[in-house]
Structure 1
């Protein structure tokens, strides 16, 4: 949440105005209502959407991780907690002593923190790093649990000394009361008691004596009743015992204060760590509450692009879904890559402003880490500005138009190519021709600066501008003429008519009025037919492109199916050959064993030993493994494949005794075992010394490993890999670049954005390599 008061016209003021216009405070309140405790509500209230892309990704990653945890093992603790922030701060001060009830409040928070810590240790993800911080000090929590009851009263188990003192107190009280009860039962004094019961005043046990019998009992008068008829006397016989009782109670209080001070000091030593733990508890609960809110609109955790462009499918307005549920119409919208500007037209209450606000609000919600009511990817915009609604300000003597123009002036001064601008009904509130001219000029200025912009308007001038200019997309909100109601469906490439004349005629305005309106409107529309023709041509081109894309997708499916059938056939043939070889070997082995047994039997019977020796030699040659022979060393200059890295190398030197050879690999001289070299003179060395030769791995033929390569080498290998994948009809390839310093990952991302054959680029899921692997979707 923005803090402080931003100067008018400043970026912070514009961002805050946009958040208010998009009703982010209302969305935030729905989030707050689902938070279980004060620490989560503080976190949500302080959360700012205007942060770096790295921080946004971490927020989304935490939401995705917790969503997965709750799906696997439901049961994350969520309970109301007392606010102990001030108590922790107080405990850190010298000589501070918290009460037992205050320490019970601290104990409740520490117990939930321990539950959080156990929950976070159940899996390894971005949330796991908080487990150690949230795990409370075991000594502190143990002493609070064993030393205090639910009402904050110290238990005997708080310390051995406290237990001893309390035991002595119980014994001493019993002795004093027993002695006083003995006096009450003496027959000669039965008539002097106002009430035959032992009472306590000021920590001392006394007897109630009638005032007129004061002389019948020797003792110390401690109190008198309001009526004056009763005296509360401490008999001399129990004075010493009462004195001992008072001393024991004082010692007990001192021990209790010592225990509370010790607990407070121990808490104070944990103050800094506990303050941070409270913030992390708030963040964890806030993420849970955000997932609960996102479930109401069936939200998904979006991906965040590095660029100021987005692609959203089934987009709905979050607040409308909370109000109307599944009745809210979803739309698909992508902007910022090739097309930077969108003009939405259509009738009043047709959904133009709602769609405009939905784009802005889902970006803000995603930046806060919330699931959004859409699928796809958000763009990263360093600033999001909006001019929506009536900007009239009577205090500043500004009309609606003047207020809107002031906002537009400030916006134009701050907008950059990394901004997202939302303009609703720009140019309204003044002469339509002048307003239209201003609106078109503002739109053209933002387009020329490459600013991603969405506008809504009824003006025909802006419709013609959208059809005429490159990089501008026209869209219209659908309208059901028969039912006289909007469909809320965005139709790209088509202008949404205002339908004012049709609605007026259906409602029943007089015929003369409608005839005059038709005539005036016809005069304004004399050149519209040419724009209609251009629109239809654009629609036909888009439909043809969609048909070609569908045909290409079907061809890719066919090739994938063919490749899968061939792979299955090859696997079956390999298994059959292995089975046949195994059976043949078993047959040969059985025959050999039979002949050996016959030879041994002949030797035992004294037969010809020469014949037995010949038989054994023949069997030895027949069963000898061909691999047992030493492999011949290749000559220097022989080219071949270094099998572990699938790189083309050339033999430099030989070591016959060690059965190894020296090769040149990427400019480095490397000794390798002979078994790791496969001679192949058909292979060509790279053009430059040390440059790698691309060879697709056998186990993962469409995963390219670039780790350890120079940027130019990796780029060439990536291009060849993509050529091979497209030729084979692949729809997706994987590139293993590792995490490291990010140079190769950046290379892959730039390559994916520039190569027209790549439809989409994304990091792999954690189980498939995460940030070390990129996945490229191909046309």
Structure 2
């Protein structure tokens, strides 16, 4: 790929974003060196790795590669017999710990998990736990060796602590004793690795010892008293022994590490590669990108593509296709309409896809494999080279024409601009026609009407435009393929306030051919908008029909399942009944044969016959009970009254009518504490309402009972009331329910502190007409409800 196109299409900015997601130096280097490739096999391999890493991130979350250290220099030193320092060994330990974490992340947690392209890399990792734990045990920090790294080091450091204590005790005794008056400060200092006291220069003779240093003014001498000279010498010897033992430990650790040099180098290479792959996956997740489908026919079909460098909240998706029905796409329309963005999106997606990166587009977007991408985009006017805009563009175009081939993708922005419009349009048509004849996939943006006509009249060339809303004077950034763009200069000028007489005068300067062409474009635009609206309506209808079809199919499947179950149950029951009848018949025949041979009395035979008849009757009643119940007396909707007694056949329960049927025949029936909506076809009439049947003779208390029966509910809700308020409501409710002959009621008091529940139950205990009460069961409200039954 030529570097100019990579920079022009801003591929370097994508690489910069990718590099930010890599943790290790090695992976960052691989990111900066990433370039598009032209081998379809390599592209598919890189895309598969990115897709597999992205899938793992969605399933398990991200993984950290922060512990990767570049240990290649240390490994080379080990190979020539060198000894590593504590910092270098800890870097190797950090690498091995990261290898262990990454290997654990890559392991499949379930047996049914699908293998992917990264399994081999995860399995290759060897965290070498024995070496890792040994380094961790011996080395605490980059400059600190653990006391128990070896028994000899432990003994040396114990002696050093004891010696240090002796030195300090001796010097403290001197500081706090007679020598105190000779000291500049009552402190113990260190000079050249030896413990000293700051003695005033005039009292030098009073503190015998070795002078190691003096202050800048000469008034203070740092003297090592003779009493601690031998102790300091012994301490120095211990320091040397400690350093020798540390070097010995480092040598042993380096020798152990050298034995695993190849594995450690392999771990580093694999971890860097995985860090690089997961950086690509994190970038794909950040951009909400998908894996493109590649083809070797140089066909592009981007669906709802979003330029990755634009604000994702504001960018308008663009749908572009090229290389199938046409090889050359000419995009026209006003400035700031999104033509250049469409051009850059196609070029950048091609580069990203061939570099193994996912693209922010809709699933199923296609990209072709191109040997090179050429782009002439932007104003590259050069003052130093005395080149105008046109000259600069033409220099780039000449270079493109020299280096392109049939496997190239060529992108031109404002082709032929910067010179006389007539000559520029003629050059543009000539250049594009040359590329079209060679079959080179090309996209170009332009203002020239001549190119619109060229696209309309040439096979393999297609017009496109970026939609523009004249009413709001704003582009919609939608790319419309198959329709040439309209300049909209007159409409925009009019909306901005240019006088009408100037616009009319300008129109007179247009040729009849230009006016006719603009009118055709306007008519095409109007037709497109109309067709889009109709297509949206058709799509809406299709979606509605699809939903209805799915619902109907589900209902039919449910009906079929229920039908099969009913038939199976009926067949099973029928088979059981037939088997039972066969057994009875066999037994009867056997008995009658026995009766014929023996002298059995008529009375015994009659008893046997009676028992057989009882068996047959029982079998018949069992068979009849399996059939669906049918109403003995059908219910007519217009004949029902509130309070009528009915039987709900599907539930086999009796109840009273609570509401009159609606237009569909649905009504509510109260069955004890259960109130359910049923249809009149599922009812069997039992009797009229008592209050209606006795309305003629009813008076006084009878009328009150009728009213109560019609209005009383089987439930009272006391939640939110105080105990005193609740007891007043409950007492009146129980009286009304008892007068209405309600068999049981449901009292809702909630759980809370339990005070209201206790008060309710105490009140029920005192009521003479309460037969029993209990807390609700599961499904009735549990401890928040009390069920009371009347006598």
* Rounded Cα–Cα distance in structure 2 between residues aligned with 1:111 and 1:252: 29
Cα distance in 2 for residues equivalent to 1:118 and 1:25: 34
Q: Does 1:422 align with 2:411?
A: yes
Deviation at 1:223, TM superposition (A): 2.2
Give matches, 1:256-267, under 5 Å: 256-267=246-257
The one-character-per-residue Cα deviations of 1:668-696 (angstroms, maximum 9, x if unpaired) are: xxxxxxxxxxxxxxxxxxxxxxxxxxxxx
**Structure 1 position 354, deviation (Å):** 1.0
- From 21, 26, 29, the equivalent of 2:13 is 26
The answer on 1:164 being equivalent to 2:150 is no
Do structure 1's residue 463 and structure 2's residue 449 form an aligned pair?
Answer: no
Kept in 2: contact 1:340–1:452 (CA 8 A): yes
Partner of 2:326: 339
Please tell me whether the aligned partners of residues 39 and 282 of structure 1 are also in contact (alpha carbons under 8 angstroms).
yes
Residues 245-304 of structure 1: CA deviation (Å, up to 9, x unaligned): 322211110121233344445555555554554454445445555455445544333333
Q: 1:44 and 2:13 equivalent?
A: no
The secondary structure found in structure 1 opposite 2:465 is strand
Q: Which residue in 2 is equivalent to 1:55?
A: 42
Task: Check conservation: 1:302, 1:366, Cα contact below 8 A.
Answer: yes
In 1, the alpha carbon distance for the partners of 2:552 and 2:185 equals: 106
Shift of 1:513: 6.2
SS at 1:467's partner residue? helix
Q: Distance in 1 between matches of 2:527 and 2:437?
A: 22
Q: Distance in 1 between matches of 2:406 and 2:367?
A: 12
Specify whether residues 221 and 536 from structure 1 end up closer, same or farther in structure 2 by C-alpha distance, changes over 3 A only.
Answer: closer
Mapped to 2, the partners of 1:520 and 1:276 lie a distance apart of 76
Q: Check the 8 A contact 1:339/1:472 in 2, yes or no.
A: yes
Q: Secondary structure at the match of 2:396?
A: helix
- Which of 61, 65, 70 lines up with 1:84 in the alignment? 70
Tell me: CA distance 1:555–1:505, structure 2 relative to 1, closer, same or farther (3 Å). Answer: closer
2:365 is the counterpart of 1:377:
yes
Alpha carbons of structure 1 residues 294 and 496: separation in structure 2 relative to 1, 3 Å = same
Q: 2:301 aligns with which of 311, 331, 337?
A: 311
1:440 corresponds in structure 2 to: 429
1:314-373 superposed Cα distances (whole Å, 9 cap, x missing partner): 22222122xxx4222223222222222211110111111111111222232333444433
Equivalent residue, structure 2, for 1:64? 51
**Is 1:490–2:476 an aligned residue pair?**
no
Kept after mapping to 2: 8 A contact 1:32/1:41: yes
1:410 equivalenced with 2:399 (yes/no): yes
> What residue in structure 1 maps to residue 116 of structure 2?
125
Distance, in Å, in 2 between the alignment partners of 1:243 and 1:280 is 52
TM-aligned CA distance change 1:257 to 1:596, over 3 Å? farther
Change (3 A) 1:171 1:209: same
Give runs of aligned pairs for residues 259-408 of structure 1, distance below 5 A.
Answer: 259-267=249-257, 273-275=263-265, 277-321=267-311, 325-375=312-362, 376-382=364-370, 383-395=372-384, 398-408=387-397
* 2:509 alignment partner, one of 507, 520, 523: 520
Q: Which residue of 1 is the match for residue 753 of structure 2? A: none
Aligned to 2:774: none
Give the CA deviation at 1:583.
4.5
SS of equivalent residue, structure 2 residue 509: helix
Q: Secondary structure at the match of 1:48?
A: coil
SS at match of 1:429: coil
User: How many angstroms apart in 1 are the aligned matches of 2:153 and 2:99?
Assistant: 29
SS of the residue 1:379 aligns to: strand
Normalising by structure 2, we get a TM-score of 0.63
Matched, 1:221 2:176: no
Q: Structure 1 residues 512 and 38, CA, compared in 2 at 3 Å: closer, same or farther?
A: same
The alignment's C-alpha RMSD in Å is 4.6
Distance 2:26 2:196 in 1: 52
Alpha-carbon separation, structure 2, partners of 1:94 and 1:332: 60
Query: Greater CA radius of gyration, 1 or 2?
Result: 2
5+ long unaligned stretches in structure 1? 1-11, 609-779
Distance between the aligned counterparts of 1:584 and 1:51, measured in 2?
73
Cα shift at 1:556: 9.4
- Counting matched residue pairs gives 587
TM, length-normalised to structure 1: 0.64
